Chains A and B, each alone.
Chain A
């Protein structure tokens, strides 16, 4: 596709429910990033992939959060046993193999945990 695609755009989950958020990066982009953005805050780094390798997962807030990119393209961020504090916009971004520093973001998945 022309840009980074994320789904679902909106997700309402009951506390304790598991959710899966999908990111389809720009074709050919090697690097893929997940960020969590709470209202009024900047994007907080969660994890980073280069192809299928997860090079940094230091930003994942707990072991309830898990990300994968098994074939080096589409990525899934899974949150188990969701809590109210998980409510946020989850942003996915990809960048070109010719490193320019420009991240291309999807529109985000807005998660609300009730």
Chain B
């Protein structure tokens, strides 16, 4: 079983839709959580960190449930430019290494 698992996707949604991605992690020692975005044939870039209390950045909302070892990302009012692969990332403070999920591909259509 992979340490970080994500919805396989792909998600194809119209502009303006709300879409949610889920991620689960297996290492209960995990301390930090992130969502990264990766455009086609580009390197991953940090989208946002995920805090225990949940956090919001514009149209993006991230939530963490430590008890269920579950992370989510909600995108409201999706734009064409949101089309990308969204990667769930988990860090273990013990090793301080960062483990990525396989990614969920989102395509926003006009």
List residues of A whose CB falls within 8 A of some B CB: 31, 33, 35, 41-45, 48, 50, 55-56, 91, 93, 100-103, 105-108
> Could you tell me if A33 and B44 are in contact, using CB atoms closer than 8 angstroms?
no
Are A31 and B96 CB-contacts (below 8 A) given A42-B101, A91-B43, A101-B49?
yes
Q: State in angstroms the CA–CA spacing of A87 and B81 once bound together.
A: 30
Interface SS of chain B: strand
Q: State in angstroms the CA–CA spacing of A91 and B104 once bound together.
A: 19
Query: Which single residue of chain A is at the shortest CB-CB distance from B31?
Result: A101
Chain A residues near B43: list those with CB within 8 A.
91, 105-108
Chain A residues near B85: list those with CB within 8 A.
42
Chain B residues near A44: list those with CB within 8 A.
100
> Could you tell me if A55 and B32 are in contact, using CB atoms closer than 8 angstroms?
no
List residues of B whose CB falls within 8 A of some A CB: 6, 32, 34, 36, 42-46, 49, 85, 87, 89, 91, 95-103
> Could you tell me if B44 and A43 are in contact, using CB atoms closer than 8 angstroms?
yes
Top 10 nearest A-B pairs (CB, nearest first) are: A105-B43, A42-B102, A42-B103, A42-B100, A48-B97, A43-B100, A102-B46, A56-B95, A101-B32, A56-B97
> Could you tell me if A41 and B98 are in contact, using CB atoms closer than 8 angstroms?
no
> Could you tell me if B87 and A43 are in contact, using CB atoms closer than 8 angstroms?
yes
